Amino acid sequence: MIETPLRERHDLSHGWDFVRGWVGRHWLDGTSGGGERVNLPHCWNEQDTFQYRLRSYSGSGAYRTTINLPPADPGTVGDIWRLRSEGFYGLGEVWLDGAHLAPVDGQYLGFRLPLDQALAEGEHLLAVRLDNRPHRYVLPGTTNREIFPGTFSRPPDFLLYGGLAGKLFLERVPGLHLDADSIEVICSPREGGEQELLRLCFALENRSGLPRRGDLQWTIADAEGRPVAGAPAAPFSLQPDQRGEPIEVAVSVAEPRCWSPDDPALYWAEGRVLEGGEVVDLVRVRFGITRAEFRPRRGLFLDGRGVELHGCNHHESIPGFGSAVPTELLRRDAELIREIGCNFVRLAHGPRHPDFLDACDELGIMVYAEITTWKSVRRSRRWRQAARRQMHNLILRDRHHPSIIFWGMGNESRSRQPYLELQAIAHDLDSSRPTSYAENHLHRARRKRTLGIPDVWGTNYELDVLAEAASSSRLDNVVLSEYGAFPMSIKGIDGEELTQVYGLERDWETMADRPYVVGHAVWSFADYATEYRNRYRQLSGLFDAWRRPKMAAELFRARYTSDPFITLFVTDRGPDPPPSRFCRDLRSDSRFPGAGELHVFTNCDEVHVQSGGPAAAVLKEAIHYVLPVDNSFEAISAEGVRNGVRAARTLRRYGEAARVEATLAGGGIGAGRTSAIDLAVLDGADLVVGSWTGRICLRVEGPARLRAYNTRDEAYLSRGEGRTYVTRDAEGEVVISASAEDLEPARLILRSG
Rounded to an integer, the average pLDDT of 254-265 is: 94
The upper half-sphere exposure of residue 558, i.e. CA atoms within 13 Å in the direction of its Cβ, equals 29
Judge contact between 319 and 538, C-beta under 8 A: no
* pLDDT for res 749: 93
- 3-class DSSP state of 227: strand
Tally of CB atoms within 10 A around 195: 16
Rounded CA-CA distance 643/752 in Å is 42
pLDDT at 72 exceeding the cut of 80:
no
Read off the pLDDT of residues 21-50 as tens digits, 9 standing for 90 and up: 999 999 999 998 889 999 999 999 999 999
Rounded to an integer, the average pLDDT of 676-694 is: 95
Confidence of residue 193 (pLDDT cuts 50, 70, 90): low
**What strands, in cross-sheet order, belong to the sheet with 195-202?**
184-189, 195-202, 247-254
Q: How far is CA 440 from the centre of its chain?
A: 23
pLDDT at 359 exceeding the cut of 90:
yes
Judge contact between 128 and 94, C-beta under 8 A: yes
In sequence order, the 6+-apart residues with CB closer than 8 A to the CB of 149 are none
- Give the CA distances from residue 550 to residues 18, 376, 568, 672, 753, in Å, rounded to whole numbers and listed in that order: 37, 32, 12, 30, 33
Read off the pLDDT of residues 265-287 as tens digits, 9 standing for 90 and up: 999 999 999 998 899 999 999 99
* pLDDT for res 74: 65
Read off the pLDDT of residues 85-115 as tens digits, 9 standing for 90 and up: 999 999 999 999 999 999 999 999 999 999 8
* pLDDT for res 592: 63
* pLDDT for res 115: 86
DSSP 603-665: --SEEEEE-SSS-EEEEES-SEEEEEE-TT-SEEEEEEEETTEEEEEEEE---S--EEEEEEE
Judge contact between 546 and 724, C-beta under 8 A: yes
Give the relative orientation of helices 381-398 and 416-429 as an angle to the nearest 10 degrees. Answer: 20
Rounded to an integer, the average pLDDT of 328-332 is: 95
- Virtual CA dihedral for 111, 100, 18, 83, nearest 10 degrees? 30
Rounded to an integer, the average pLDDT of 209-223 is: 92
Residue 475 vs residue 731, higher pLDDT: 475
Give the helix/strand (H/E) hosting 332.
helix 327-339
For β-strands 234-238 and 212-222, DSSP reports them as antiparallel
* pLDDT for res 279: 94
* pLDDT for res 296: 94
How much is the mean pLDDT over the chain?
Answer: 92
Read off the pLDDT of residues 470-521 as tens digits, 9 standing for 90 and up: 999 999 999 999 999 999 999 999 999 999 999 999 999 999 999 999 999 9
Q: Which domains does the chain have, with CATH numbers?
A: 2-173 (2.60.120.260), 176-287 (2.60.40.10), 304-559 (3.20.20.80), 566-649 (2.60.40), 659-750 (2.60.40.10)
Rounded CA-CA distance 41/283 in Å is 26
> Residue 24, class by beta-carbon neighbours within 10 Å (0-12 exposed, 13-18 middle, 19+ buried)?
exposed
Beta strands in 385-429 (DSSP E): 404-411
Rounded CA-CA distance 524/481 in Å is 11
Read off the pLDDT of residues 421-474 as tens digits, 9 standing for 90 and up: 999 999 999 999 999 999 999 999 999 999 999 999 999 999 999 999 999 999
Of 56-60, 474-478, 510-514, 570-574, the range with the lowest mean pLDDT is 570-574
Rounded CA-CA distance 511/251 in Å is 42
* pLDDT for res 672: 83
Read off the pLDDT of residues 393-408 as tens digits, 9 standing for 90 and up: 999 999 999 999 999 9
Give the helix/strand (H/E) hosting 420.
helix 416-429
Give the relative orientation of helices 354-363 and 327-339 as an angle to the nearest 10 degrees. Answer: 30
* pLDDT for res 152: 46
Q: In three state form, how does the secondary structure of 267-278 look?
A: EEEEEEEEECCE
Q: What is the pTM of this model?
A: 0.95
Spell out a b/e string for 417-429, using b for 16 or more CB atoms within 10 Å of the CB, else e.
ebbebbbebbeeb
Rounded CA-CA distance 497/582 in Å is 16
Runs of H (alpha helix) within 182-247: none
The pLDDT > 70 percentage for the chain reads 96
Rounded to an integer, the average pLDDT of 313-334 is: 96
pLDDT at 378 exceeding the cut of 70:
yes
Confidence of residue 538 (pLDDT cuts 50, 70, 90): very high
Rounded CA-CA distance 118/663 in Å is 53
pLDDT at 670 exceeding the cut of 80:
no
Angle 482-484-487 from CA coordinates, rounded to 5°? 105
Judge contact between 64 and 38, C-beta under 8 A: no
Read off the pLDDT of residues 142-170 as tens digits, 9 standing for 90 and up: 865 444 444 445 678 899 999 999 999 99
The pLDDT > 90 percentage for the chain reads 79
Judge contact between 376 and 141, C-beta under 8 A: yes
